[in-house]
Structure 1
Amino acid sequence: MSYEQFAYLYDELMQDAPYDEWVRFVTEKLNKYQVNGKNLLDLACGTGELSVRFAKEGFSVTGVDLSADMLSVAQAKGQEEGMNIPFFEQDMTNLEGHGEFDIIGIFCDSLNYLKSDEDVIHTFASACSHLKDNGLFIFDVHSVYKISELFIDQTFTLTDDHLSYIWNSFAGELPNSVEHELSFFVLDEHSGKYDRFDELHYQRTYPVEQYSEWLERAGFELLEICADFLDSKPQDDTERIFFIAKKPSK
């Protein structure tokens, strides 16, 4: 099965994801911190689901992702909605040529797919260089608790008529990292048989203090750290942590 087909499958698997909550959260933070513009850079945009939703809410969106196949799905999705959203194949650790934005976001814990400290540090610096003065940088990550307690050594399964998967998670070699081994079984409607394909995904997170230090080193002013789409502070059992930072005016 090609990766483009997997991208469509990904949308099906993620159809219950709280995408509207990301849009609401970002809009509320823009209002709270009085950011007037709505020019948004969606980093690691994947199949463009959030890019399209932001565009529907009046944002001027640019999407960036490392996967050409994911971007082809995103482009088709935008066209189906009658939207001319520019999508670019580029590494978010080294952005070039996009100008400056009012908001830059890395959503759906996409930052956790970066494999090293240096990748995160370079991503923060790259984002800062593409923000307007007083612009917002918003991202969410898995908590250390979620990686260590809810993922590692766990098995998840799904069984449906046309799609099933087995998802095993193991501790990675580095601290607070996890490897996901996924086997998908997808019904071929023509043959009536199931095709199998396997994926290996790696994620790593860091303590809140480490993200905060790297943000400040990149030149950001850290405004807020929130838990699970709420304005409350993260607790020991928080699963998703949001960071809201500002690029100070010169």
Structure 2
Amino acid sequence: MSGYNAFAEVYDKLTDNIEYKKRADYVSALFDRYGVRGKEPILDLACGTGSLTIELAKLGYDMIGVDSAYAMLSQAQNKKYEENADVLFLCQDMTELDLYGTISGAVCMLDSLNHLDSAEDVKRTIEKVGLFMEHGGIFIFDVNTIYKHREILGNNTFVYDCDDVYCVWQNSLNDDDSVDISLDIFEQEDGAYYRSGEEFSERAYPIEQYKKWLSDAGFEILHIYDEMSDRELNDQTQRAVFVARYKNRR
């Protein structure tokens, strides 16, 4: 995975359209539906700049945010102090997750699992979550679907013009349905634009493959939703939301 250093500096500006409070409410409703209440220890895996982590902390969860990018966590720590949020942020690769105790739930949102370098890394990450999950704990994660990679991201180019940041997002679809992404980022400062760049890839897998990885790691799939809704997964779902319960006894 990339270090996302250049991306971290502008990530919040480029994702200003993401309603983190609304997403936190959605996740909280799912936790409540499947038996995880507030004050429980919850892991936010690949937490990025910490926006969702902090919103969940405001709802009463005992939050741990984990990300492998120092630059992202630096932004998260700044938000933590600004919001006076009680959150523990840890810099770890999600494939090597190592917590100090067990958790009652975990989230991994905004297609973070798609950013892992291989299918084996996704499998290993799910196993790691299970390793620290209490019996009956709930794992909620979303993934970009193969449909989205083929039909939406594809070989398309997107342009974002956000105040003092301009970004050209170029995609290249591969035969295995992975997408190589190249970002050209221009930041305005003192009347001049400064250019930086970032390159990374996303990989999409069949829904049945995620089901197998979950089952092999000791999880029971409770439901798969269309993103940010109670709608069933369908053949045009762009982002699938998995809800799974850890059923292995230690």
Q: Which residue of 2 aligns with 1:79?
A: 81
Q: Which residue of 1 aligns with 2:146?
A: 144
| 1:21-170 correspondence runs (5 A) | 21-36=22-37, 38-160=40-162, 162-170=164-172
Deviation at 1:193, TM superposition (A): 1.2
Q: Secondary structure at the match of 2:96?
A: coil
Q: Secondary structure at the match of 2:95?
A: coil
Distance 2:222 2:216 in 1: 15
Distance 1:97 1:33 in 2: 23
Contact 1:4 1:73 in 2 (8 A): no
Amino acid in structure 1 at the alignment position of 2:115: Y
Contact 1:44 1:110 in 2 (8 A): yes
What is the TM-score normalised by the length of structure 2? 0.93
Q: Which residue of 2 aligns with 1:11?
A: 12
Contact 2:5 2:69 in 1 (8 A): no
Deviation at 1:22, TM superposition (A): 2.3
Deviation at 1:249, TM superposition (A): 5.3
C-alpha RMSD over aligned residues: 1.7
Distance 2:164 2:170 in 1: 20
Distance 2:129 2:114 in 1: 16
Identity of aligned residues (%): 37
Deviation at 1:128, TM superposition (A): 0.4
Query: Cα deviations across residues 30-80 of structure 1 (Å, max 9, x unaligned)?
Result: 221122452111110011111111111111101110011211111111011
Contact 2:10 2:165 in 1 (8 A): no
Q: Structure 1 unaligned runs (5+)? A: none
Aligned length: 246
Distance 1:32 1:97 in 2: 26
Q: Structure 2 unaligned runs (5+)? A: none
Distance 2:29 2:107 in 1: 14
Query: Cα deviations across residues 81-112 of structure 1 (Å, max 9, x unaligned)?
Result: 11231111111112113311111110111111
Distance 1:5 1:76 in 2: 17
Q: Which residue of 2 aligns with 1:238?
A: 237
Distance 1:160 1:105 in 2: 28
Q: Which residue of 2 aligns with 1:20?
A: 21
Contact 2:64 2:88 in 1 (8 A): yes
Distance 2:9 2:65 in 1: 17
What is the TM-score normalised by the length of structure 1? 0.93
Distance 1:4 1:121 in 2: 26
Q: Which residue of 1 aligns with 2:187?
A: 186
Distance 2:114 2:181 in 1: 13
Q: Which residue of 2 aligns with 1:200?
A: 199
Q: Secondary structure at the match of 1:233?
A: coil
